Structure 1
Amino acid sequence: MNLCTCCGKSAEPHKIVNCCICSKSYKIDCVDVTNTEARKIHQKSGLSWTCKMCAQLGNDINGLKAAIVALQDEIKILKTQVSTPVQSTTFSLIETEKIVNEVSERERRKNNVIIYGCTEGKCKTNAEQLNVDTVFVKDMLSSLGINDTDNLKISRLGKFDATKDDRRRPIRVTLHSENSVMLVLRASKQLKTSNNWKNIYLSKDRTPMQLEIHRNIRNELHQRLANGESNLRINYKNGIPNIVSSLN
């Protein structure tokens, strides 16, 4: 008898399938595998089965590969800013380290949204400020039609200082998933049409490298417009900003 990793119960061998990656055993009833599919897997007819955890791991790895390709394009932009010549081998090691760190940092920030423009009022402690911000964030998300606001992580960026007037430190909100971030950012366009939220602006939680690239692209756009070029705008392809003609 084999024990199912999912429910912990035993089953006959023909009622069990093993993940082709981690080799853990699962009852076919727990993973929605039919008797016919299980029989073909046991007969080694070329049909294999992967558990959800290993399948998700594969998706994550593919995502990281795509992120690395995108980062290589971004690092090419940063190369032009290196003023001191370095040995190619040394630069290659530095570049590799940047990629690894950047992928890790983007993964850590992917479920975050940054809220700009929210005043801090007259709160005298960080705990009091957190309570006020929690109410504000939930009210704002509710106005956008986002009702899944339980267990959000909310914090202000920067040091709390009760002595300063008109404090507006950005708020970082950690949502439940990257998909939730996209839903919130798409809906945030509605804020400009409301008197309550018209001064509020939302963005992704970008890494220092992303912020530097966006800043350089904006500066280049302003410079080209100042030099007489027209009909230019910033376009994003796979998350990478580029300057294109707005007539296209």
Structure 2
Amino acid sequence: MTIHTCPACLRSIQSKDSGKLICSVCDGHWHGVCAAPQPADLQPTTIQSWACQKCVASKKAEASAPADIESARFKAIMDQFAVLNNTLTAKIDTLSALVESQNETIKECVNDIACLRSDNEKLKIKISTIENRISAVSQPEELQYEILERVKRQKNVIAIGLTETSNDDFEAKRLINHIIADADKSVVSTYRLGKQTTNGKPRLLRITFDSNEHALMILKNAKSMPKNDFLGVYLKSDNTPAQSKYLADLKKDLQFRTQNGEKNLTIKYRNNVPRIVPLPTSKRTRDEESSPRSSTKRKQSKQDELLNGERREPTE
């Protein structure tokens, strides 16, 4: 027969002791008066499910342990999320800075491409101009013909807007005499250029003089032509097709450069050749204006303009 000892009083418990309590958890035997906690009642089910104080405390500890573990796990997970969030935020900031830098680089590249396109267009125009020059002198025969044609045309003056009549010679001489008295004696011939139009617009009238000096004098004094008698009439020099094409290409180049930001540019004649040059940035001093050398240069410049049709040309 097994003898049990009460953990509270350390005395033996008789097997026949009806007041003893047996822990349903650890199977420990207790005197009824020594047991703690005391059962709520003496019902058989209560007595059978009774547990000693040690086992009750152990159950409470076990019950609270999972909650503490879950809380610790949750805290650890949140800490990991915080570290991950900080890492991702740092990477996002780095990527944002990189994207911003790339955007600036792209903007610079776009600006560079625009500049390159502009420079490319300028080069195309210059190459076209050079090709035209080369093609104009590629054949000695063509060059010789061009020179002779220019020399021959120096005696001509082109009248624009002069009304067509049955006697163009009379109208041309009347126009010339209004510019320089008795200059009609130097007129050799007149000729209408192109086919006759049906819209009433007068064709160009070529007036040929006996010398290029007379033609130059008429162009030089064209401003003295009376406005009332010859309204809408203009005079210009007789350029060859090559001269006209070169001047047209030069005007396109000037327009393109002006549209792309270049300012203070104009076309001036140097040695009878039109060129794009910058406008003077400051006025000349009185000494420069009154010097003989300056006066000679101005006269030569005016002659160059007259020979190449820069004066009194209408805007088309």
Mapped to 1, the partners of 2:136 and 2:238 lie a distance apart of 27
The corresponding residue for 2:276 is: 243
Is this contact kept in 2: 1:119–1:166, CA < 8 A? no
Is this contact kept in 1: 2:136–2:143, CA < 8 A? no
Mapped to 1, the partners of 2:255 and 2:153 lie a distance apart of 29
Is 1:157 the counterpart of 2:193 in the alignment? yes
Is this contact kept in 1: 2:129–2:249, CA < 8 A? no
The corresponding residue for 1:190 is: 224
Mapped to 2, the partners of 1:165 and 1:220 lie a distance apart of 33
Mapped to 2, the partners of 1:138 and 1:92 lie a distance apart of 35
The corresponding residue for 1:102 is: 146
Is 1:203 the counterpart of 2:236 in the alignment? yes
Query: What amino acid is the match of 1:243?
Result: I
Is 1:137 the counterpart of 2:172 in the alignment? yes
Q: 1:218 aligns with which of 251, 254, 257?
A: 251
Where 1:152 maps in the other structure, the secondary structure is: strand
**1:79–1:243: structure 2 CA closer, same or farther, 3 Å change rule?**
closer
Give the TM-score, by structure 1 length.
0.55
Deviations, residues 98-143 of structure 1 (Å, cap 9, x unaligned): 21111121122221111111232xx5xxxx2xx1x22221121111
Mapped to 1, the partners of 2:257 and 2:130 lie a distance apart of 21
Q: CA deviation at 1:158?
A: 1.0
Query: What amino acid is the match of 1:165?
Result: N
Q: 2:155 aligns with which of 93, 99, 111?
A: 111
**1:215–1:137: structure 2 CA closer, same or farther, 3 Å change rule?**
same
RMSD: 2.7
Mapped to 2, the partners of 1:92 and 1:116 lie a distance apart of 27
Mapped to 2, the partners of 1:112 and 1:184 lie a distance apart of 10
Mapped to 1, the partners of 2:205 and 2:193 lie a distance apart of 6
Is 1:170 the counterpart of 2:221 in the alignment? no
Which structure 1 residue ranges, 5 or more long, are not aligned?
Answer: 1-75, 83-87
Which structure 2 residue ranges, 5 or more long, are not aligned?
Answer: 1-126, 282-316
Structure with the greater alpha carbon radius of gyration: 2
Give the TM-score, by structure 2 length.
0.44
**1:77–1:96: structure 2 CA closer, same or farther, 3 Å change rule?**
farther
The corresponding residue for 2:286 is: none
Deviates more, 1:174-183 or 1:141-150: 141-150
Q: Which protein has greater RCO, CA pairs closer than 8 Å, 6+ apart? A: 1
Q: Which runs of 4+ in 1 moved over 2 A?
A: 76-82, 91-98, 195-198
